[in-house]
Each structure stands twice: as C-alpha cells, then as structure tokens.
Structure 1
C-alpha cells in the first residue's frame, strides 16, 4: 500500500530540523520519499494547509488507570496511592483492565500519540497487551512488580518469585510481537514497593533479554524519606548502588534530585520521563528539566495516569512543560522547538528507537500525525513558527489523522481499530463495578 500526503508543511525533526512544504510517500510501513515530486500512490491524502509531524511519543502512561479518571483528586502522591489508586488497581479484573487500556488508547490516538511507554498494574496485564495489539498503537509495556511496602493491599503485593516469573512469562510471549510494535519492559513500581532482591534480579534479567527498565523515582519528598530510612541512601544513589542506573533505564519524575544524583543520571545515561501536569496536580513539585537538558540528559514527556492529570493529552504536556519553568528561570527557557523535541526525538531516544521513529525521514517507520490549522484558536498561522503553534496553540482535537506503522488508525476524528462508543459504554460499566468493590 502506497499512501501519499500531498502538500503539507512537514515538521521533519531531522538532523537539520528542517521544515519544508512538499509531499511524503509511505510505502507499507516506512517513509519512502520526501520532496516536491508527486510519486504514484494507491491513495492520495490532500494535506495542503496542514502540518505533518512525527508521531508523538509519551514515555510514561498508566493505561490501567484510565478508568479511575476523576476518582482521586486533591491528594498528594502517597495518600493518592494508598487511599484510592492501589485499592482500585487491586480490584481490576481482565475485562475492566482491557476496557481501561482501550479507553486510554482511544484518547491517545485521537490526540496524536502514536507511541507510549506504559506501566500496567500487577495482575491481568495480558488483557491490556491484547488491547495494545488490537489497537495498532506502538508501545513498550510491562506488568507492575510489587513485593514489599507498608499499606500495600494484599490484592497487589506478590512474592518476589511470582512477580519475576509472571514478568518473564509476559516478556517471552509479547516482546517483539506485531512486527516489533510491542516491546516489553520490566516495571518495578518504585523502590518503596520493591525488595532489593527483586530490583537486583530485574537488573540481571533486563541485561539478559536486552529490554528497558521503567520505574518511578524522586517524585515526592515523603517517598524519598522512606527510601532513605529503609535503604540508607537517596533514590538515584540507591538505584546506582544496585546497578540499575544505566542507559536502558527510563526513570519517571526525578523532581527532587541533588547534584550527586543529577551527575549519576548524566554519567549513566539514564533517561528521564517528565510528567509536568501530574507533578503539579499532586503538588509534587517541578522537575529541574532545564538543568537536565544542559547536562545532556535525555528527557521525554508523558501524561502519567488519568487520575493524576486528568487526561492523556500530549499537547497539554508540551505546553505545561514550557510554561512551568519560565517563572523559575525566565521567559527564554524551554523554547517551543526544544519542548517539541522532547515529545518526538526525546521519546524515541528514551525507548532506544531513534533509528525508527521520532522524525520524518526516508527509511524510518511511518508513524505520522496530520494537524488541521482551520480553527480560530490556532489562527492566524501565516508567518508563525510551526513549533509555537504546536506547543502553545494546537489542541488534541486538531489532530485529523494518526498513522502508526503505515496504517491509518484515526482519520477525521474516527478511530479505525476501536469502537469508541462501545468502549466508552463498557468502560463506565467496569468503573461502576470497581467502585462498588472499593467502597
């Protein structure tokens, strides 16, 4: 199948960060041509006056929590987990987790996110990965590992051996499936809920299988105090001590870091997932992203979960990432071009997929998003920097086409692989069922 995007303004994010007006040919699942010529195609998409951008990438999302949107407002992290999120996650069954994943994926595809790093919950992860496979979205995902911690409900805590064995079983079933579109990662929740034995085994297994590790760290001052009390050192120092701080680690949040920890992230090439809206909503703080970028640390963006955001909108995350730093560091910090890079190449590098996604270049995977510029809230557009439009003006509702691996998954606000109305209905039924089990 050859699909031609005719006449868009192409925000390439290539090595020159070129923005050109031209045509883009997709053949099968890769970009075959970029330029002014008009190759023959099976289908031509008229894209004059629109922006064609690389598929947007979120490196920290909890699809398992989409059903809990609006269920845990006005709480700080540890209370948020203990009082609402952990009991709700523990109540999940296969059907509710499947619907939660489909609901989240629907929102992501409608909003131009083509790739995500997903942290599931402890049980029924297979059902969520089935939803990922069916939807066509690109994802690195894994089951949450929890074998320790005060006030962790019995519905979530596992033995160390069970947590490890179930993770390995899922990895061997799913890693590399769907033409490589699905990747597996080991996802210990955070140090507070994991024994040292489990974390050290994750380090060994991630090296053995050549996969990512995805966890939280230094999100909340109370969390750090627990880690210091139990392990004798701060989060990042501890992760380095046990060998987890490495290039394959995606470390989410990293708000409260000292200079020594920042140096470890830089030296070990740890990747940081920044979730600005969540960090503000849970009153956790503002991550030192400008300092990380100055040090050359790879930073990417994520919405986190629906109950701490309360949406999965990457455009909101880009805007928030830019705005929250300016009162602290001045108006020139976090310019729109740099922020857009976090949502594209930054995410690709975090996942180790920079040779395949994150920019529009010949030979790369055809993960593409088409943006309409017709609405009043975007205009005027003539003479305006496209990066400024994308970070400050465009909304997720302006996305008119989402393509992953050369397949159109959303066009003209219609999902092609998901029955949106059915998912919305079934998700509400599942949510009510979980509420009854936790109240």
Structure 2
C-alpha cells in the first residue's frame, strides 16, 4: 500500500527543523520520499491543499481506563480526587466497561492527531486495555497499574506485592513487542504513596533486568510530597533515585514541585518528564518549572493525563497551555512554538525509546 500526500506545508521536526512546501510518499508503512514529487503516483493520493503536515503526536501520559469518568471528578485536589472519585470509579470497572473506555479513548486520541501513547491502566482487567489497543491500531506503551499500599483505597484496588508483580510479568510476556513492536509493556507503579518500598525496589530490579520502561507519577501535589517525606524520609525524586529508578527508561508524569537537587537528578539520569498542563491546572496542583528544566537539558514531553482531570485528550490544547502558562513567570519568549511542538513529537518519541523511529517526518 502506498500513499502520496501532495501540496502540503511539511513541518518535518527533523534535526534542522525544516519546514517547506512539498509532497510526501509512504510505501509499506515507511516514508520513502519527501520533496517535490511531481512524477510519482501511489495507490492513494491526498491533496493537502497547503495544510500543515506534522508528525503524529505522541502523548507520554494518559489513562485510557478513565475516559468514561469525564466530568465526574471536578473541583478537587489530587488526593481527594483519587480517594473520593477516581479509585472508587476505577474499582467499579469490569472487563467490558474497561474495554469500551479504552476504545473510546483511542478514538478520541487518533481523531485529534495523536498516534502514540504512554498509558497507565488500572489495577484490574488490564487485558481489556490491550485488546482495545490491539484493535485500534494506535502505538502503545503501558501496563497494569501497581498498587499495594495506602489508606482509603477500595479493597479490590490493593494487590499483594507478589500478585501485582506476577500479573505484570504475565502481561509483559503476552503483550510486549506485539505486532512488530507497535504494542510494548511498561511497569506502572502508580506513585510512591500507593506503592510499598518493597514493590518499588522490585520494579527497579525488573526494569534493570529486562530493560522494561517504568511509567509513574511524582511531585504532582504538595500533600503527596509531604506523605512521601513522612513515610520514606525523602522527597519524591531523591527517594526514587535511591531505589535505582531514575534512568532513561523512567517516564515521570508531572514533576511540578521540584527542588534544585531533584531537577539535577532528573537531568543527569536522563529521566523523561511528562508535562501535563491541563491536568495540573484543573486539579490546582501547580505549574511545572518547564523552562528551567529545558535550560538544564531535561527531557520533556507532553500528555493530557486522564479525561476526568482534563475533560479532553487534545494535544492541541496541551500545546497551547504549555506555551502560555509559563510566560507570566518566565517571559514571552520562554516557550516558543518550536519547543512546544518538539515536546509533542520528538520528546514523546524519546520517552518511548523510539526517537529513531517516530517523532519526525524523514525518509526511511
């Protein structure tokens, strides 16, 4: 199957960030040619009419399991939002409801130009998420949510440590590298508040042994940070680093309230930070220090998070918010358009470990 897209304004996001008018030829799911292709034809020809042609967006933090909860958890800060709304709602999922939540989420994401996601499922029925992703055709990195600790958690949302790890490994064996690598598995401990020290140490060990990415949350909310300091004696990032979890396979959502030492750990370890401005604003969590992180050389990408903490899964909205919310604090030039689009494309590709495969429009 070949597709020729003609008369487009091509935003390549290549090394030179070239933008030009031209055509793009796809053959056998690979970009074969870019340029003026007047002499070429294809099975399908699309006239772009000088519209923009961009790489598919890559959302580095979403929750397909929460799509049916849109509008059901408003006006709450993070810990109340989880305990009073999200955990009870997630605990009520069965296999069918979770499947349809995931299908609906994939449809919304694809319709909005997102072609790849890093997801965190819920504790139960994770097979339903993978079944939906298999059918949707979206590129996926994610896995079962790991929780074995915490108060005010529905009983069926708390696994034993052994059960959480065993189910995760079984899913890894079934789904990792499915469909020529379109679907890959990640270990997904929810956050330090809902994971025992033993569980997190085992996740670090498995990630190191099998080179599995780790997808989690950290430093989103001041109350969360206080709980971690009280229970573990350290701030979030310093604690995760002490466990051996800060590395280039770590995908860390939010990272709003960071000390200077924590910022440097994330930069030095090449951990992947996911900025979720819509979610951070809705939950009143704060504004992540993205310009200072970028200036230090941090790896930053974007994600909409879950539908009930955002109300949509639009990368265009996340890019707009990411560009605007920093300007009152860091100046009008602090988040230029190119930097924001890079977070939505190349940054996400790097977080997925696929920077040589996706995130830009280039031949090959």
TM-score by length of structure 2 reads 0.99
Distance 1:112 1:308 in 2: 20
SS for the counterpart of 2:245 is: coil
Residue 146 of structure 2 corresponds to 145
CA shift, 1:270, in A, is: 0.7
Asked if 1 retains the 8 angstrom alpha-carbon contact of 2:346 and 2:355, the reply is yes
CA shift, 1:341, in A, is: 0.6
Distance 1:66 1:271 in 2: 24
Question: How do 1:361-400 residues align onto structure 2 when only pairs under 5 Å count?
Answer: 361-363=362-364
Residue 118 of structure 2 corresponds to 117
| 1:65-114 Cα distance to aligned partner (Å, 9 max, x none) | 00000000000000000000000001100000000001111110110000
CA shift, 1:55, in A, is: 0.3
Residue 29 of structure 1 corresponds to 29
Q: Which has the higher contact order (CA 8 A, sep 6+)?
A: 1
Residue 3 of structure 1 corresponds to 3
Residue 193 of structure 1 corresponds to 194
Matched, 1:107 2:108: yes
Question: How do 1:46-61 residues align onto structure 2 when only pairs under 5 Å count?
Answer: 46-61=47-62
Residue 332 of structure 2 corresponds to 331
SS for the counterpart of 1:251 is: strand
| 1:385-408 Cα distance to aligned partner (Å, 9 max, x none) | xxxxxxxxxxxxxxxxxxxxxxxx
TM-score by length of structure 1 reads 0.82
CA shift, 1:37, in A, is: 2.2
Residue 315 of structure 2 corresponds to 314
Residue 19 of structure 2 corresponds to 19
CA shift, 1:28, in A, is: 1.0
Matched, 1:81 2:89: no
Distance 2:355 2:247 in 1: 18
What CA RMSD, in Å, does the superposition of the two structures yield over aligned residues?
Answer: 0.7
CA shift, 1:280, in A, is: 0.6
Residue 174 of structure 1 corresponds to 175
CA shift, 1:251, in A, is: 0.6
Residue 432 of structure 1 corresponds to none
Distance 2:354 2:94 in 1: 32
Residue 389 of structure 1 corresponds to none
Asked if 1 retains the 8 angstrom alpha-carbon contact of 2:21 and 2:50, the reply is no
Distance 1:72 1:43 in 2: 44
CA shift, 1:166, in A, is: 0.3
Question: How do 1:263-274 residues align onto structure 2 when only pairs under 5 Å count?
Answer: 263-274=264-275
Asked if 1 retains the 8 angstrom alpha-carbon contact of 2:31 and 2:363, the reply is yes
CA shift, 1:40, in A, is: 2.7
Distance 1:48 1:330 in 2: 36
Asked if 1 retains the 8 angstrom alpha-carbon contact of 2:24 and 2:37, the reply is no
SS for the counterpart of 1:122 is: coil
Asked if 2 retains the 8 angstrom alpha-carbon contact of 1:2 and 1:25, the reply is yes
Matched, 1:355 2:330: no
Residue 232 of structure 1 corresponds to 233
SS for the counterpart of 2:180 is: coil
Residue 261 of structure 2 corresponds to 260
Distance 1:345 1:32 in 2: 20
Which consecutive unaligned segments of at least 5 residues does structure 2 have? none
SS for the counterpart of 1:54 is: coil
